[in-house]
Chain A
Amino acid sequence: MKSPVTFRLNGSETAVFVDPGANLLDVLRRGCGDLSPKYGCGQGGCGACTVLIDGEPHVSCLVLAETVAGRSVETTGGLSNGPDLHPLQRAFIEGFAAQCGYCTPGMLMAAKALLDRNPNPTRPEVEEAISGNLCRCTGYEPIVDAILEAAKQRGAA
């Protein structure tokens, strides 16, 4: 039997019916039509599905959907403000931090959680923050550079 779950998705009140045992990633993609978080492994190992729950990064493929009732979920789909991209998105584009782009939504959310808490991270802190996110294209350097650049831009703004 499906059960109703209400939560905030990128600031908007959202109500969906979820199947028993459904994970949050599935509910976001199929139930809410937010295709920004990606499915890579369904095991917590790749980080492509990373979203923020009450501001903290979670791998949404391992979150039982009904546990987010009453909480706030943020995805890459909500990062930009209309046509204005988030500083992290701009830095990723300018720094060629996305190649195939499959890891990018997860990387962006892991990075956002870091910068929201620590606006001036060191390189090792950035590496630690994205340590649960795999990228098979870039070799990570451009991603780490882009996150550090976004922090700088935000500081200057």
Chain B
Amino acid sequence: MLEVQTYPTIGEAAGAMDDQARFLGGGTLIMNRVNYGDPRFNRIVRTTDASLAEIRVEGERLEVGAGVTMAAILASRDLDFLAPAARAVGGPAIRNMASVGGNLMAPHPYGDLAVALLALDAVVRMASGEELGLEDFLARRNGVVRSLLVRRPRGDEFRFRKVSRVKPKGVSVMSMAAHLTRSAGRLSGVRVAYGAMASTPVRVRAVESALEGVSLDHAGIAAALSAATEGLDPPDDPIASGWYRREVAPVHLRRLLLGEDAR
């Protein structure tokens, strides 16, 4: 029999977790498992901690509570740079429920917002207060997340793109994000992340290093396009085969980097 436990603070909720428990965010994935009687857990742990839904300015960083929904991101001026990624998640009803914390944990092909946060070098703050880079968090994916810390990108340095077959709502063939930082007119320290191209959202280091020191134009990005899927083994699923994902990735990467519209 399933048990639901509700705690007033995130700290207490985190303390109640074990491998038979699942922490409830917005529930868009967990409740599906509950409805279908998933035998892998017997407890739902939730918290009524209001701080989880807060968006706060913390020095140069914005702190986004793990319970902030995609709809709340879309309604926030401070987080306008995340709007293209938040808008890419599900339909309106799903966006009213889907949380930031749940998006970090969502299995393939989900995690569109996490892709954007990974390119922006977001830091994960755990319920314990421990902080770690999102990339490290995605590699281990355990523990309860309190919030994310992210810096606002400058001007037009940040790009996000989701490729799906159905519009306006459709699951990712892939999603891509790039933080195109520059130094003296040339790209420098760029971060590029993909979703639905591996078991979790991933950084694409081969592309990042091919973009170091080049100018943002067709000639400058040619090497990066050749390296578009280096080191990746994209999965097969009902949306697309791994082969297809690999074939079309350079086209979508070019559109992302050069800000071209898809036809």
Contact = CB atoms under 8 A, between A and B. Distances in A.
Residue with the greatest number of chain A CB neighbours at <10 A, chosen from B28, B91, B169: B91
Interface of A: 3, 20-21, 23, 42-44, 47, 50, 53, 56-59, 61-64, 66-67, 110, 113, 127-129, 131-133
Contacts of B97: 58-59, 62-63
A105 to B, nearest CB: 13
B96 A21 contact: no
Contacts of B71: 56
B34 A23 contact: yes
Closest 6 CB pairs of A and B: A132-B91, A21-B2, A131-B169, A62-B31, A42-B35, A57-B93
Main SS class of interface, A: mixed
B148 interface: no
B96 A56 contact: yes
B76 to A, nearest CB: 15
A53 to B, nearest CB: 8
Nearest to B95: A132
A23 B92 contact: no
Interface residues of B, number: 25
B27 interface: yes
Nearest to B91: A132
B46 A131 contact: no
Contacts of B92: 57, 110, 113, 128-129, 131-132
Given A43-B32, A47-B93, A132-B169, 12 more contacts: A21-B4, A21-B34, A44-B90, A56-B96, A57-B96, A58-B96, A62-B27, A62-B31, A63-B27, A67-B27, A67-B46, A110-B92
Contacts of B96: 53, 56-58
Nearest to A3: B4
A132 B31 contact: no
Nearest to B37: A21
Nearest to A133: B91
